[in-house]
């Protein structure tokens, strides 16, 4: 992807630091810092001015990195917010990364809001260091580049639907139907690209391709990787396999499931902290040896050392599922499923019963 990167940050020192760290990682990429040092334009909204800038500097598409708070971004954009920048990026089909320096990991109401549909298309960077923000943004940029490269190599017949295109990009054509489940109810995807799918309309193919790359990347990052079903993170994998998380994280255990490791776009984003695994390939590994679960498979493979089962921390029952609020294993009986804004394909995603009862009245979980 040769799209230029736009950085919106109102603190000069922070902006320079992020730019320097990004440039070290993406040496051949054009990176523009929006400083807001131009003159105020009373006859144009901030959104109009940003859109004009994007059209001039990135006629073939761009990539946007923005702080959530831009209230002091120079005389031209005094009082600007990250929301306004995000709106323009969305309207133009540019991939976007939002961040808020110093914010810790979201919890409670704010965490749930970040999972809900109205925020699902946003990629939010959680970090309190400029270097880490730049590192994550660079990895996300490369992931979108990877998706874009693979997308344009597809035959037109393989681009018929978003789920078909994504399954081919991930080199897993057999799971197209499962991926499609993650789009059930996601009318926002369709609404964004429908105007550009009209045949024989001048200029629509270019616009459609530009937007589709962003949609595919956002869909993969904010939905498929986030909500366990097709892919599972380490905790969800351990719960599903019935292997205690600490034991699953041992090299001797992980290596027997190596063939199921996810290595596609975004896979290296949280290196050392989060990994993902193909659930259907975990099944293949286990069932090929007629094992009941992952724990039984570790015994079949004669893994050295003790490997314990995965239990619900509260009930001590067999877990099997993943709580999206506590980020811990949870049992079927001790959790709620069928949350309206959980993707249909995320059948391992749950909310622990006590958390559901605590949060449901004031956030509307259904």
Domain residue limits, the chain: 5-141, 154-224, 231-363
- For the whole model, what pTM was predicted? 0.88
Query: Which of 6-10, 106-110, 264-268, 337-341 is predicted least confidently?
Result: 106-110
Over 80: is that where the pLDDT of 1 sits? Answer: no
Q: From CA 264, how far away is CA 144, in angstroms rounded?
A: 11
pLDDT for residue 197: 53
Q: What is the mean pLDDT of residues 144-153?
A: 94
38: its two tokens: 């131009």
Task: Report pLDDT digits (tens) over 161-174.
Answer: 889 999 999 999 99
Rounded percentage of the chain residues whose pLDDT exceeds 70: 86
Q: How many CB atoms lie within 10 A of CB 184?
A: 10
Q: What is the mean pLDDT of residues 153-161?
A: 87
Task: Report pLDDT digits (tens) over 321-364.
Answer: 999 989 999 999 999 998 887 888 999 999 999 999 988 876 66
Question: Secondary structure of 80-114 in the HEC alphabet?
Answer: EEHHHHHHHHHHHCCCEEEECCCCCCCCHHHHHHH
DSSP string, 4-31: -EEEE-S-HHHHHHHHHHHHHH-TTS-E
- E strands, 208-314, are 231-233, 276-278
Indicate the CATH number for domain 5-141.
3.40.50
Distance of CA 189 to the CA centre of its chain: 15
Longest dimension (CA), the chain: 73
Over 70: is that where the pLDDT of 365 sits? Answer: no
What separation, in Å, do the N-terminal and C-terminal C-alpha atoms of the chain show?
39
Q: What is the mean pLDDT of residues 84-96?
A: 92
Which residue do the tokens 């139907």 mark?
A: 177
Q: From CA 81, how far away is CA 72, in angstroms rounded?
A: 9
């Amino acid at each position: 992807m040769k799209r230029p990167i736009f950085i919106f940050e109102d603190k000069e020192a922070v902006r320079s630091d992020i730019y320097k760290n990004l440039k070290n990682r993406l040496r051949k990429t054009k990176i523009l810092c929006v400083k807001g040092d131009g003159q105020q334009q009373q006859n144009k909204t901030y959104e109009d001015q940003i859109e004009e800038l994007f059209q001039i500097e990135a006629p073939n598409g761009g990539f946007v990195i923005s702080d959530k708070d831009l209230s002091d971004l120079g005389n031209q954009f005094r009082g600007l917010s990250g929301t306004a920048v995000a709106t323009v990026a969305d309207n133009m089909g540019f991939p976007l990364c939002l961040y808020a320096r110093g914010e810790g990991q979201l919890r409670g109401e704010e965490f749930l809001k970040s999972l809900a549909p109205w925020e699902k298309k946003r990629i939010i960077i959680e970090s309190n260091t400029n270097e880490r923000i730049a590192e994550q943004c660079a990895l996300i940029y490369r992931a979108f580049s990877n998706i874009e490269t693979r997308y344009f190599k597809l035959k037109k017949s393989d681009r018929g639907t978003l789920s078909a295109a994504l399954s081919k990009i991930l080199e897993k054509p057999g799971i197209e139907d499962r991926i499609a489940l993650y789009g059930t109810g996601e009318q926002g995807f369709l609404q964004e690209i429908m105007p550009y799918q009209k045949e024989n309309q001048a200029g629509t193919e270019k616009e459609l391709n530009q937007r589709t790359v962003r949609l595919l990347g956002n869909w993969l990052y904010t939905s498929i990787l986030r909500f366990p079903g097709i892919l599972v993170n380490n905790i969800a994998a351990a719960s599903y396999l019935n292997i205690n998380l600490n034991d699953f994280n041992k090299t001797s255990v992980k290596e027997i499931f190596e063939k199921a490791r996810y290595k596609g776009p975004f896979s290296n984003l949280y290196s050392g902290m989060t990994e993902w695994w193909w659930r259907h390939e975990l099944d293949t590994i286990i069932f090929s040896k007629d094992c009941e679960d992952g724990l039984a498979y570790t015994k079949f493979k004669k893994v050295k050392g003790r490997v314990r089962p995965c239990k619900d921390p509260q009930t001590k029952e067999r877990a099997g599922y993943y709580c999206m609020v506590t980020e811990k294993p949870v049992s079927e009986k001790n959790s709620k499923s069928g949350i309206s804004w959980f993707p249909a394909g995320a059948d391992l995603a749950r909310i622990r019963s006590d958390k559901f009862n605590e949060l449901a009245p004031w956030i509307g979980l259904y």
